[in-house]
Amino acid sequence: MTAISAGDYFTLALRSDGTLEAFGDNSYGQTNIPAAATTNIVSMAAGGGHCLALNAAGNVIAWGLNTSGQTNLPSNLNNVIAVAAGGAHSVALLNDRVSLYAWGDNSKNQLQMPFRPSTVTVTVTPSTNSLPAVTNFTTNYQTNSYPSIAVKLIAAGGNHTMAAILSPLVQYQVDVSKDLLLIYNTNSLNSSNVCQYYLTHRPMVSNANVLGIDCTTNSVIGPLDYTNVFLQQVNIWLSNNPTKRPLYVVLCQDLPQEVSIYTNVETSIGDPSVQYQLHYWADQEWHPFVTAINMNGTSGTNYFSSDGTNDCIAYIDKLVSMASNNPPGTLFISGTAAGYSNINWYIDESGSGENPYADSAAHAITNADPTATVFGTAGTNLFGLPNHSTHDTNVAGYYTCGSDCTFDVNMFVNTNVQFFGYSGWFIITTLDSFDGQRRSGQASFLTWFASNSFGGTNYSNTPIGAATTVEEPFSSGKVAPDVYYGDWAAGKPFAIAVWAAHAKGYGNPGYYFQAVGDPFAKK
Amino acid sequence: MGTQGIISKPLVILLQKNKIIFMKIYKINIWLSVVSFMFLSARAQTLTNLDFEQANPVIVVGSPYYPYAVTVASALPAWTVSYGISPQTQITFNSPALGSTWVTLIGTGYQGYPGIQGPIDENYSVLLQGGVTASAASISQTGLIPGSTQSLLFEAKPGPGPLDISIDGQNIPYMVVGTGANYTLYGADISTWAGDTEQLMFSALEGYGGGNNWLIDDISFSTTAVAPEPSVFALTAIGGLLFGARKWFVRCRESLEHDKTIVSPLVEQSDR
């Protein structure tokens, strides 16, 4: 069984093979499963005396008590992603996550939503029920300005209905069979190996969806190849899985990182990241949190390891190791829950007054976690630039301006920067513009995840999450460190913290953003 | 019957020759006028906007760098911006690059990039950034260097790498001649080009981890020759004196030790 739902004196159960079982009171035929609902069912709901089933094609089947029209499906109801059944009313959420349908009994206004984001459309049937004047949210109900408002969950009680709006401030229960999509490159053995290793070793993700894409292994993909090869295969998967719109997508090693749209040869400016393209433009209403397990570059652009998968495998092993100290059955692997004693945050430039973003990051951390200790550098070096934090202990978060502030580009692997103590579970970003490139440039994220990075051995000091940029974001286009570190300090999962930080940014659209790390890792 | 019948053939030839001479004189006059005009125009075309205060940044909608993209013409009137040898039409306003070769107009109150806290002076300064992999970031302008000029001065927050300054394509050496509260004053001897119309160029060179960022302002010409700032001069002088004194001391000691080596056997002998 993969799901159960209890109605009034009867029960529905869903098997993993997509078949239903119904038992209990059958006064209204509610346990008589219709032929259309005998196979390919992915979700169901039991109401007062009626039942709803959702099949893999995104269609709803209803049966049982129909005193208030609760089994009279609205016309053209398709692409449904979730259903809920109340006492005598029914609710369906479409896969655009902004369209809700509600029908049946409205005697207690259970079909009406008095508050909703302006993007959510509510359709009520029968048509005799009219919608009241809708009051949109006028207050900023999420402190971080994540732009994509969508409905995450729906539920129906006896005479009421609830919808949960997606917010980075809320951590939802994740069903990886619906909410997680792993993508790998079918032209790279390393890519498929990393994907398979993640599936089989990382706890709680074995039921995730997997998509192999036949595309280039180069870090840069042309715009036509992106649209007609890469994106087309993603869209086909979405089309074939109308009931699934995974909120979390993980790109495994050797998938392209940038789409060469604007590249200016002189300045190397303008290419958006594949993650940005997927998040904003793959589908008008699908805005997943995309991250990557791609700690190592393809052969030929692989600087710090003799094998293309070592760093990725070691990263996954680190997740496994930390999970072993978390409560059993934990998807969100937490360092704190495992008793990992990293309590210090090192934020270059905070307190110097020269970078207000760094200052606000320091404040956000202490606001989110009053027990946190934030170390900021002050003063300037020979060139008038802020001093760096280079020898740190028990690191929970690290922010530096990197080689842009006269650090050596190999600073993280040549012992210029060394961490000590519990420093193997932290998040990082730098002010370097090309830190997300697999090829040469400023201090690349590949150095952050190398076995000897930050003065460690055997990956002892590698981060658990990283915000990077594959191109020039300008100082106004980097992730907002106050959100990034603040949300992480508050216990948000990496994917949410990093994408909320991207959404706020410094004001630019952030075409270049790339997140590296497990989406469900937590402080 | 025409006039040709009245005028003799030699006279016609003479008139034609005079006409040719007249036309030549006329053409020379025109040429001289044009040259004079050009000369006068050139004299009138002085170097302008040397303090960058003529900026009136116009945002370029639709640019990949929007909303920070501004036209060079509006942000840096009279100046040309180049990355390497490629001229640019857009720069950014208050949004420096983080490793690319780039030119940014920095306005009052700007914060957000390490080491840059608004302009050096008044409302605007220019940030030249030598990128990590691409070529130098340059601004240039062609105009008249005043006749009595001895030196070029400019204020800057220096980067870790070189800033090349060239006149007429020739790099000129410069030195620290003073310091202000938030800048270093540099000076260069450019007396060679006084009174000439030349191209003046400032270039922040690439490399240096993408961090060769030079914020410059208040370029000016001085009729006074450059000299190192007193403190630098004094330090150099003191350093020279100390070096000389050390050499003298070492030489004396060596001399004494040399004397000792000569004397010691005698001493030993006498001890015995």
- Nearest chain B residue (CA) to A443: B209
A184-243 confidence digits (pLDDT tens) = 999 999 999 999 999 999 999 999 999 999 999 888 888 889 999 999 999 999 999 999
B162 interface with A at CB cutoff 8 Å: no
Shortest distance, CA B102 to any CA of chain A (angstroms): 7
B83 interface with A at CB cutoff 8 Å: yes
Q: Is the pLDDT assigned to residue B263 strictly greater than 80?
A: no
Q: Which of B59, B82, B100, B102 to mutate to test the interface with A (most CBs of A within 10 A)?
A: B100
- Token digits for B204? 């922040």
A387 interface with B at CB cutoff 8 Å: no
Q: Residue A287 — pLDDT band, cuts 50, 70, 90?
A: confident
- Token digits for A478? 């980097």
Q: Is the pLDDT assigned to residue B72 strictly greater than 90?
A: yes
Class in CATH terms, B69-222: mainly beta
In order, the DSSP letters of chain B are --GGGTS-HHHHHHHHHHHHHHHHHHHHHHHHHHHHHHHHHHHH-B---TTSTT----B-TT-TTTTSEEEHHHHSTT-EEEETTEEESEEEES---SSS-EEEEEETT---BTTB-S-SSTTEEEEEEE-SSS--EEEEEEEEPPTT--EEEEEEE--SS-EEEEETTEE---EEEEE-SS-EEEEEE-GGGTT-EEEEEEEEPS-GGGTEEEEEEEEEEESSPP---HHHHHHHHHHHHHHHHHHHHHHHHHHHHHHHHHHHHHHHHHH-
Q: Do A268 and B133 touch (CB under 8 A)?
A: yes
**What number is the average pLDDT over the span A293-313?**
68
Q: What is the pLDDT of residue B103?
A: 96
Q: Is the pLDDT assigned to residue A131 strictly greater than 90?
A: no
Which of A102-116, A313-327, A432-446 comes out lowest in average pLDDT? Answer: A102-116
Return d(Cα B99, Cα A131) in angstroms, integer: 54
Q: Where are the domains of chain B?
A: 1-43, 69-222, 234-272
Q: Is the pLDDT assigned to residue A158 strictly greater than 50?
A: yes
- Nearest chain B residue (CA) to A512: B64
Pairing of strands A180-185, A248-252: parallel
Q: Is the pLDDT assigned to residue A67 strictly greater than 70?
A: yes
**pLDDT winner (highest mean) among A43-52, A220-229, A353-362:** A43-52
ipTM above 0.85, yes or no: no
- Segment holding A276, helix H or strand E: helix A274-281
- Segment holding A319, helix H or strand E: helix A310-323
Q: Is the pLDDT assigned to residue A156 strictly greater than 70?
A: yes
Q: Do B95 and A474 touch (CB under 8 A)?
A: yes
**What number is the average pLDDT over the span A51-78?**
94
- Token digits for A310? 């070592």
**pLDDT winner (highest mean) among A113-127, A151-165, A292-306, B93-107:** B93-107
Return d(Cα A167, Cα B38) in angstroms, integer: 67
Cα-based distances in Å from B271 to A16, B129, B265: 109, 74, 10
Q: Residue B243 — pLDDT band, cuts 50, 70, 90?
A: low
**Helices then strands, each counted (H, E), chain A:** 10, 28
Q: Residue A508 — pLDDT band, cuts 50, 70, 90?
A: low
Percent of chain A with pLDDT over 90: 54
The whole-chain average pLDDT of chain B stands at 78
Q: What letter does residue A334 receive in the DSSP assignment? A: B
Q: Is the pLDDT assigned to residue B15 strictly greater than 70?
A: no
Q: What is the pLDDT of residue A383?
A: 59
Q: Is the pLDDT assigned to residue A138 strictly greater than 70?
A: no
Q: Is the pLDDT assigned to residue A134 strictly greater than 60?
A: no
Shortest distance, CA A264 to any CA of chain B (angstroms): 10
Please indicate whether residue A244 or residue B266 has the higher confidence score (pLDDT). A244
Spell out which residues of chain A touch residue B109, defining contact as CB-CB under 8 Å. none
Q: Residue A342 — pLDDT band, cuts 50, 70, 90?
A: very high
Q: What is the pLDDT of residue A181?
A: 98
Q: Is the pLDDT assigned to residue A386 strictly greater than 70?
A: no
Q: Is the pLDDT assigned to residue A182 strictly greater than 70?
A: yes
- Nearest chain A residue (CA) to B208: A406
- Nearest chain B residue (CA) to A348: B114
Return d(Cα A467, Cα B180) in angstroms, integer: 38
B140-192 confidence digits (pLDDT tens) = 999 999 999 999 999 999 998 999 999 999 999 999 999 999 999 999 999 99
Spell out which residues of chain B touch residue A470, defining contact as CB-CB under 8 Å. none
A347 interface with B at CB cutoff 8 Å: no
Please indicate whether residue A259 or residue B56 has the higher confidence score (pLDDT). B56
Q: What letter does residue A286 receive in the DSSP assignment? A: B
Q: Do B99 and A404 touch (CB under 8 A)?
A: yes
**What number is the average pLDDT over the span A291-317?**
74
Q: What is the pLDDT of residue B271?
A: 35
Spell out which residues of chain B touch residue A270, defining contact as CB-CB under 8 Å. 64
Spell out which residues of chain B touch residue A405, defining contact as CB-CB under 8 Å. 114-115, 211
If you count them, how many residues does chain B have?
Answer: 272
Spell out which residues of chain A touch residue B209, defining contact as CB-CB under 8 Å. 402-404, 406-409, 442-443
Q: Which of A385, A444, A447 to mutate to test the interface with B (most CBs of B within 10 A)?
A: A385
Q: Residue A326 — pLDDT band, cuts 50, 70, 90?
A: very high
Shortest distance, CA B239 to any CA of chain A (angstroms): 21
Helix A481-489 vs helix A494-504: crossing angle, to nearest 10: 150
Q: Which of residues 193-222 of A touch B (CB under 8 A)?
A: none
B208 interface with A at CB cutoff 8 Å: yes
Number of A/B CB contacts below 8 angstroms equals: 135
Q: Is the pLDDT assigned to residue A96 strictly greater than 90?
A: no
Return d(Cα A196, Cα A401) in angstroms, integer: 35
Spell out which residues of chain A touch residue B65, defining contact as CB-CB under 8 Å. 269, 474, 508
- Nearest chain B residue (CA) to A382: B160
Which of A113-127, A491-505, B12-26, B204-218 comes out lowest in average pLDDT? Answer: B12-26
B57 interface with A at CB cutoff 8 Å: no
Percent of chain B with pLDDT over 70: 67
**What number is the average pLDDT over the span A322-336?**
95
Is A247 within 8 Å of A485 (Cβ atoms)?
A: no
A48 interface with B at CB cutoff 8 Å: no
Tell the residue number behind the tokens 């010409």, with chain if given: B221
Q: Do A409 and B117 touch (CB under 8 A)?
A: no
Q: What is the pLDDT of residue B239?
A: 56
Q: What is the pLDDT of residue A43?
A: 95
Q: Is the pLDDT assigned to residue B267 strictly greater than 80?
A: no
Shortest distance, CA B176 to any CA of chain A (angstroms): 15
In order, the DSSP letters of A157-186 are -SS-EEEEEP-TT-PPP--HHHHEEEEEET
Q: What is the pLDDT of residue A358?
A: 81
Spell out which residues of chain B touch residue A440, defining contact as CB-CB under 8 Å. 133
Q: What is the pLDDT of residue A128?
A: 35
Which of A120-124, A429-433, B118-122 comes out lowest in average pLDDT? Answer: A120-124
Please indicate whether residue A479 or residue B9 has the higher confidence score (pLDDT). A479
A416 interface with B at CB cutoff 8 Å: no
B82 interface with A at CB cutoff 8 Å: no
Q: Residue A440 — pLDDT band, cuts 50, 70, 90?
A: low
Return d(Cα A368, Cα A351) in angstroms, integer: 18
Q: Residue B264 — pLDDT band, cuts 50, 70, 90?
A: very low
Q: Do A405 and B114 touch (CB under 8 A)?
A: yes
Q: What is the pLDDT of residue A48?
A: 96
A266 interface with B at CB cutoff 8 Å: yes
B211 interface with A at CB cutoff 8 Å: yes
Q: What is the pLDDT of residue A380?
A: 62
Q: What is the pLDDT of residue B12?
A: 43
Return d(Cα A11, Cα B107) in angstroms, integer: 68
